[in-house]
Amino acid sequence: MATENKLHFWRRNAKVPGRFLKDTPKTNIANIKSKKPSTFHEFARSTNDAWDIDDEEDNDFFTPSHPSSIPAQSHSKPQTPRLKVSKHFTDTEPQPQPLNRLEPVSTEICPDQLRIDGEPTNGRVVKSSSDAQLNSNTARGTLQKQQSLPVRPVIPLVARISDQNASGAPPMTVREKTRLDKFRQLLASPNTDLEDLRKHSWSGIPREVRPITWRLLSGYLPANMERREQVLRRKREEYFGFIEQYYHSRTDEHHRDTYRQIHIDIPRTNPLIPLFQQPLVQEVFERILFIWAIRHPASGYVQGINDLVTPFFVVFLSEFVEEDVENFEMAALPLETQRNIEADSFWCMSKLLDGIQDNYTFAQPGIQTKVKALEELVSRIDEDVHLHFKKCEVEYLQFAFRWMNNLLMRELPLRCTIRLWDTYQAESEGFSHFHLYVCAAFLIKWRKEILSMSDFQGLLMLLQNLPTIHWGNEEVGLLLAEAYRLKYMFADAPSHYKR
């Protein structure tokens, strides 16, 4: 069926991309009786913004504290976020289990890849990122077996977070060395050519130059080298001026609910990674999110924004940590370095959110639009998958809401998110427009598994727990290539589909 559809794709239903097919055959759903949300507001209320909130976490929340400090974090075990669903939904996401360390399983070479060998060591502070390497972390158990997952060792979440693949390769190949030299040449010029930098960053940024490249591509730093140090100093001072001006108001009645929600969500941010469970790191995240929320009253804080800080924080931390980022003690860094990492993470996250803020304003219209666009796009890309969802009464909102709200961060390991964001920052409107095609390519990648399941609950269990724990650079690269192909076909050439 799928092959026949592809062969006749150009001759069938040649309308503007994304339009629903008027002649789509009606599926038999007589045996499936359910009441679907009639509006986005109803869906949003039923999911409570896609995460469970435990009321007991509010006990003794606002305790007296020094104006410059954060209230003490709860020492109870952090709750794992779970997608709440309407009538047919059940708690389908399994509780995360600790991970095993990876041993090399292949000799295939990919750009900017690091080898995992030897025993894990503690993190060491270095002066710059030029010699920093991220090696393997301490072994941490076994991940629950997932559907259709091949039997392979599990890759640590952060230890190879910068540039990794599912294979173990030499630390630096000739090709990688050439790419790194090209980046350093671009960055060392008096006025960095940002277009050229984006061109080279699309296929991945070497770990050694990723921090400075991200600052430039996000618009945080100017292209002119002479101005960079001055801008950095001014922006960092400005951020901590916000802390002094606003942070004491977190216990005021007007901001209590915002700070309460942030305080609840922070322990749930990457709960499997020890780095993010340190009280010092959680205080950093609370300050960043609170300051951003009160400076953007149109949206305020929305659950999911907390995830968007983590890639920036880890990348800027890797500039000073030689090994084992996953278990690195933040307190080992000088206070000034800690403050710089915090300020840079705040400003780069702010730049990102400036381009997708309608995702988080009232009723989240940006997410509504993107989910609808995804549905229309999939109906043209793979009609079999689209009709299968209709037959099983699976609504795109029920799984794609989180894909848009968290930019696939809940679906991919953090190491893959960082690689993905290399391309997002290099691509025009990467976090808004291009992300749609990445989501479409990501969904179609699992078409075989999707079509093999014929029940509502099984499909939701699959879509909320896709087996990506082994993914690395190779898989992300293939996903991005397919997304670019879809963008080229459907976004840049719409006239091909008009009658």
Q: Please compute the mean of the pLDDT values over residues 218-226 and round it to a whole number.
A: 96
Q: Please compute the mean of the pLDDT values over residues 6-35 and round it to a whole number.
A: 43
Please list, in sequence order, all residues whose beta carbon lies within 8 angstroms of the beta carbon of residue 335, skipping any fewer than 6 positions away. none
- Give the pLDDT of residue 492: 60
- What are the residue ranges spanned by the domains of the chain? 363-498
Residue with tokens 């030689």: 322
pTM of the model: 0.70
Run of H or E including 391? helix 383-391
Measure the CA dihedral 231/235/236/240, to 10°: 160
Q: Please compute the mean of the pLDDT values over residues 68-94 and round it to a whole number.
A: 40
pLDDT band at 157 (very low <50, low <70, confident <90, very high): low
- Give the pLDDT of residue 46: 54
- Give the pLDDT of residue 3: 47
Q: Please compute the mean of the pLDDT values over residues 453-477 and round it to a whole number.
A: 94
Cα–Cα distance measured from residue 243 to residue 318, given in angstroms and rounded to the nearest whole number: 24
Other beta carbons within 10 angstroms of residue 138's beta carbon come to 17
pLDDT band at 410 (very low <50, low <70, confident <90, very high): very high
pLDDT band at 323 (very low <50, low <70, confident <90, very high): confident
Identify whether the C-beta of residue 382 lies closer than 8 Å to the C-beta of residue 444.
Answer: yes
- Give the pLDDT of residue 494: 58
Cα–Cα distance measured from residue 117 to residue 56, given in angstroms and rounded to the nearest whole number: 44
> Which one of 90-94, 233-237, 267-271, 319-323 scores highest in mean pLDDT?
233-237
Fold of 363-498: Cyclin A; domain 1 (1.10.472)
- Give the pLDDT of residue 243: 96
- Give the pLDDT of residue 64: 39
pLDDT band at 9 (very low <50, low <70, confident <90, very high): very low
Cα–Cα distance measured from residue 489 to residue 222, given in angstroms and rounded to the nearest whole number: 34
Tokens of 82: 């779970």
Residue 377: exposure state from Cβ atoms within 10 A (0-12, 13-18, ≥19) = buried
Q: Average per-residue pLDDT in the chain?
A: 76
Helix and strand tally (H, E) in the chain? 18, 0
Q: What is the pLDDT of residues 96-135, one digit of tens each?
A: 444 333 333 343 434 343 333 433 344 444 444 333 333 3
Residue with tokens 């080229």: 488
Q: Please compute the mean of the pLDDT values over residues 291-319 and round it to a whole number.
A: 94
pLDDT band at 495 (very low <50, low <70, confident <90, very high): low
Q: Please compute the mean of the pLDDT values over residues 333-340 and round it to a whole number.
A: 97
pLDDT band at 40 (very low <50, low <70, confident <90, very high): low
- Give the pLDDT of residue 428: 87
Cα–Cα distance measured from residue 461 to residue 399, given in angstroms and rounded to the nearest whole number: 10
pLDDT band at 322 (very low <50, low <70, confident <90, very high): confident
Q: Please compute the mean of the pLDDT values over residues 366-378 and round it to a whole number.
A: 95
Q: Please compute the mean of the pLDDT values over residues 31-47 and round it to a whole number.
A: 51
Q: Is the dihedral of CA 324, 325, 327, 329 positive or negative?
A: positive
Give buried/exposed letters for 404-427 (b at 16+ CB in 10 A, else e). bbbbbbbbbbbbbbbbbbbbbbbb
